[in-house]
A and B are shown apart, each in its own frame.
Chain A
Amino acid sequence: AQTVTQSQPEMSVQEAETVTLSCTYDTSESDYYLFWYKQPPSRQMILVIRQEAYKQQNATENRFSVNFQKAAKSFSLKISDSQLGDAAMYFCAYRTFQGAQKLVFGQGTRLTINP
């Protein structure tokens, strides 16, 4: 079974600075998807960014980018120019490429933005 580990329960960053959230995962599959989700206090999970494992290029979405290291099974999220609205819980998630559609989530990292 696949597992996802987020070793940073909490992180904080100054507004406008850059922060990196860590995620590692374990799988025997070669093709899969990886995601970062944001969960504000409203509880609604919002997709931030995704990465297909077969793509070597790291995904980027505006201020959000990932560092995908397939051999190391590492998938970190970098947030540049942090904004107060970025404060939330962040979850790393894994999904197999074919078959089961379920997402496997990590434990989450609570990100605080200091003004």
Chain B
Amino acid sequence: GAGVSQTPSNKVTEKGKYVELRCDPISGHTALYWYRQSLGQGPEFLIYFQGTGAADDSGLPNDRFFAVRPEGSVSTLKIQRTERGDSAVYLCASSLTGTGFNEQYFGPGTRLTVT
């Protein structure tokens, strides 16, 4: 079956602009995660959804970052007033449920460049 997909693959935006990054999880997966991977670093957790609700948003760096998952499937990560420091690869992952051990399957990421 289809894996996790993310669009766009690459996004270039100017400083101060608003961007939306989309994640389509594997069908039937109730848990969805966003991570941010800066150049030369490992991914850092941003937010975790169980169904439609954000179960853990402790990784969001500030109030410019917001994510939604209104129907419990597709999720959108929204970044307002982008800054050059927001440049990174944004990875999305999904798992069957958020409890017990369930493997997280990752998408290919969106590379965001803020100029």
* Chain B neighbourhood of A46, CB < 8 A: 106
Establish whether residues B48 and A45, one from each chain, have CB atoms under 8 Å apart when the complex forms: no
Within the complex, which residue of A33, A42, A52, A91 is in contact with B42, where a contact is CB–CB below 8 Å?
Answer: A91
**Chain B interface residue count: which class?**
20 to 34
Write out, one digit per residue, whether chain B residues 15-47 have a CB within 8 A of any chain A CB (1) or not (0). Answer: 000000000000000010101000011111100
Q: How far is the CA of A108 from the CA of B41 in the complex (A)?
A: 7
For residue A52, which residues in chain B have a CB less than 8 angstroms away from its CB?
101
Residues of chain B with a CB closer than 8 A to A106's CB: 42
| Proximity string of chain A (42-58) to chain B, C-beta cutoff 8 Å, 1 when within and 0 when not | 11111100101000000
Q: Judging by beta carbons under 8 Å apart, are B91 and A101 in contact?
A: no
A81 to B74, CA, bound (A): 40
Residues on A with C-beta less than 8 A from B48 are 100-102
Cβ–Cβ < 8 Å partners of B82 in chain A: none
Contact B45 A103 (CB under 8 A): yes
Residues of B within 8 A of A42 (CB): 108
Closest residue of chain A to B111 (Cβ to Cβ) is A43
- Contact with B109, one of A4, A43, A47 (Cβ below 8 angstroms): A43
Whole-angstrom CA separation of A91 from B108 in the bound complex? 16
Q: Which residues of the partner chain A approach B42 to less than 8 Å between Cβ atoms?
A: 4, 6, 91, 93, 105-108
- B75-103 vs A, CB cutoff 8 Å, 1 = contact: the mask equals 00000000000000101010100100101
- Identify which of residues 28-52 in chain A touch chain B, using a CB-to-CB cut-off of 8 Å: 33, 42-47, 50, 52
Establish whether residues A103 and B43, one from each chain, have CB atoms under 8 Å apart when the complex forms.
Answer: yes
User: Which of A42, A52, A103, A104 has the most CB atoms of chain B within a 10 A radius of its CB?
Assistant: A103
